[in-house]
Chains A and B, each alone.
Chain A
Amino acid sequence: MDKTVNQKAWFLVLPVFLVVAFSAILPLMTVVNYSMQDTFGNNQFFWNGVGWFKELLDPSTDLGGRFLASLGRNLFFSAVILAIEVPLGIVIALSMPREGWSVAACLVILALPLLIPWNVVGTIWQIFGRPDIGLLGYVLNSIGINYNYVSNDIDAWVTVIVMDVWHWTSLVALLCYAGLKSIPDAYYQAAQIDGASRWAVFKAIQLPKMHRVLLIAVLLRFMDSFMIYTEPFVVTGGGPGNSTTFISIELVKIALGQFDLGKAAALSLVYNLIILIVCWVFYTVMTNAGAERPAKEGVA
């Protein structure tokens, strides 16, 4: 087969190429460039090779210590919110009505937290939790619970976690609800005839049918919580001390606070890499889960 040679086609690709170059490739290359160098301002750079990367992985250095500590906080945070949001989301989805006007009402109420901008969520909880004027903080303190997220590590953590649960459980619930809605009535009727208990119905029908949406929910919530910045920054500013300083907050401190562009660039590359790897693992798991189903399934 002869292909038509038409070099003009390149001009059609050119705009996209330029946009991608300026929006993604060039900035990323700049970061790669910075990560190999050190600077003391005045636009003067000194070659440092893989020095920053070595420091990053060495806990005895300042950079490495801060990175690994914040990485640990990030992983702990993601694990905790997943452990709360996924079961809670499933329970909410299961208890939602299946038909009638109340469905719309529930969906709107659930969607509300998702529509609020991150920094507004942070501000809401920052004020809500203040012991002097915040409803939550004041009530807790007046019934004798000493609660102050500015001075107490655990209080700060609890606040950040509760805030995230409040903000994002809806997403898990909505995804699960969509998964539940797609189960044909015949399954429930068959289970009824088979004498299945509520728990058996959940285990044998609902959970397996939600399997795929749950994977997506876990992926989305892991990614988002691993990249969290705005809400804890607004509420605690990473404190008290460094107790709620996540990688993203640490990164901003190094890049903009200390103006250590080399260290910050190396840190952001590693941060990026971790997220890419996790994404890839999830993608593989999901496609494999899909491949297990026989091709004929589509008929029903």
Chain B
Amino acid sequence: MARIDLDDLAHSYGGNDAPQESFALKPVTMTWRQGGAYALLGPSGCGKTTLLNLISGIVTPSRGKILFDGNDITPLSTQKRNIAQVFQFPVIYDTMTVGQNLAFPLKNRGVAKAEVDARVKQIADLLDLTPYLNRKATRLTADAKQKISLGRGLVRSDVAAVLFDEPLTVIDPELKWQLRSKLKALHRELDLTMIYVTHDQTEALTFADTVVVMHDGRVVQSGTPAELFDKPAHTFVGYFIGSPGMNIVPAEVNGQQARIDGHVIGLHRNYGVLPAGKKIEIGVRPEFVDVAAPASGLLSATIERIDDLGRIQFARVRIGDAKFAARVPPGFSISGNTAGLVFDPAHVHVYADSHLVEGVA
């Protein structure tokens, strides 16, 4: 159980002299508090697994430090770091029973037999593995095996953090929910720091209190699911999180007005004069743009199709060349293939070179 500090941490598989653009993980400094549930979210190859392996010690960073509770553990081996890790594919020891699997990390550390038995029993209870304790672990299903992998981590009382590397990849969809809520429950019960790597936003947003979104080796935003949704710090976050993702369209912004395709929409905040030479875009989530009947005061768009998601409908429209998604208000019926768009100014954000610009309220 520990607070984790990353101090200017970076890693390059090509060595430190490689250009920083090629780093698998670009320098990052952040603090993860004791007992938090964190998710590292990003597409394949964004550096999230590298970051996880740096923390577990499987990979040694080419730059920077990692601190557990203020102690620099960067030079320590994986064994000495006291972390637990659950891998993408369940790792179990074939020849052992479930109970022996769970006892393995304690036996390796020379813990007395009575204590081993007690811990194994306790963890097996926690993970609902008690009925299988004497069964060979090979014959169990993937989700049970994944629980055993987790159990091997939890069985040590001194574990500093539990790391998950896309642990639900090989689990059947209907069991994913069960296992995920089990993880949530364990997190509440055991007060452990948990770090969860995934490319699935639903997994990340439901598991974590803090989601760290990564893109191209960089941490682009770290915040609660609500923050990521309401105020994405980077266009990538806006686009990657949410379904459908945030609308990002080029615009001219001046003071409290944005001009898209010749049409002016009002903004909630004042942006003054934005620096020249930067790519200015506005971003707004489809949930905060409503389709309405065409009217002179509204930005007009061409409707391409309607996606019905059950409880909500989204219209896929086109403004000039830009694709756009907007909510169809309940009870609104579309006639013809043009529509007007009504923006909620409080949720329209301005981005300069993909980064959020804070306006003055």
Contacts and interface: CB of A to CB of B under 8 A. Distances in A.
Contact of A196 (B104, B139, B149): B104
Given A186-B91, A293-B138, A299-B142, A193 B85 contact: yes
Given A194-B104, A195-B108, A299-B170, A189 B78 contact: yes
Interface string A160-200: 00000000000000000000000010110110111111001
Nearest to A207: B95
Contacts of A68: none
A300 interface: yes
B22 interface: no
A208 B84 contact: no
B89 A193 contact: no
A193 B170 contact: no
B87 interface: yes
A199 to B, nearest CB: 10
B79 A192 contact: yes
A297 to B, nearest CB: 8
Contacts of B108: 194-197, 200
B109 A195 contact: yes
Interface centre among B83, B104, B141, B149 (most CB of A within 10 A): B104
Interface in A185-242: 186-187, 189-190, 192-197, 200, 204-205, 207-209
30 contacts: A184-B89, A186-B91, A187-B91, A189-B58, A189-B87, A190-B85, A190-B91, A192-B58, A192-B77, A192-B78, A193-B56, A193-B83, A193-B105, A194-B104, A194-B105, A195-B79, A195-B105, A196-B108, A204-B93, A205-B93, A207-B95, A208-B95, A292-B138, A293-B138, A294-B138, A294-B139, A296-B141, A297-B138, A300-B89, A300-B90
Contacts of A297: 138
A4 B94 CA distance: 51
A193 B78 contact: yes
A31 to B, nearest CB: 45
Interface of B: 56, 58, 77-79, 83-85, 87-91, 93-96, 104-105, 108-109, 138-139, 141-142, 149, 152-153, 170
Contact of B149 (A190, A192, A209, A296): A190
A207 B95 CA distance: 10
Nearest to A187: B91
A296 B77 CA distance: 35
Contacts of B88: 186
Contacts of B77: 192
Contacts of A196: 104, 108
Contacts of A294: 138-139
A51 B18 CA distance: 83
A257 B138 CA distance: 57
Contacts of B95: 204, 207-208
A204 B104 contact: yes
Contact-size category for A: 20 to 34
B109 A189 contact: no
Contacts of A293: 138
A289 to B, nearest CB: 12
Contacts of A189: 56, 58, 78, 85, 87
User: Across chains A and B, which 6 residue pairs bring their CB atoms closest together, nearest first?
Assistant: A190-B91, A194-B105, A195-B108, A186-B87, A204-B93, A208-B94
B152 to A, nearest CB: 6
Contacts of A207: 95
Nearest to A299: B170
A94 B123 CA distance: 34
Contacts of B109: 195
Interface centre among A195, A196, A205, A294 (most CB of B within 10 A): A195
Given A184-B89, A190-B91, A193-B84, 12 more contacts: A186-B91, A189-B87, A192-B58, A192-B79, A193-B85, A194-B108, A195-B79, A197-B108, A209-B94, A293-B138, A299-B142, A299-B170
Interface centre among B79, B88, B149, B170 (most CB of A within 10 A): B79
A193 B139 CA distance: 24
B89 A208 contact: no
Contacts of B139: 294
A152 B56 CA distance: 61
Contacts of A192: 58, 77-79
Given A195-B108, A204-B96, A190 B142 contact: no
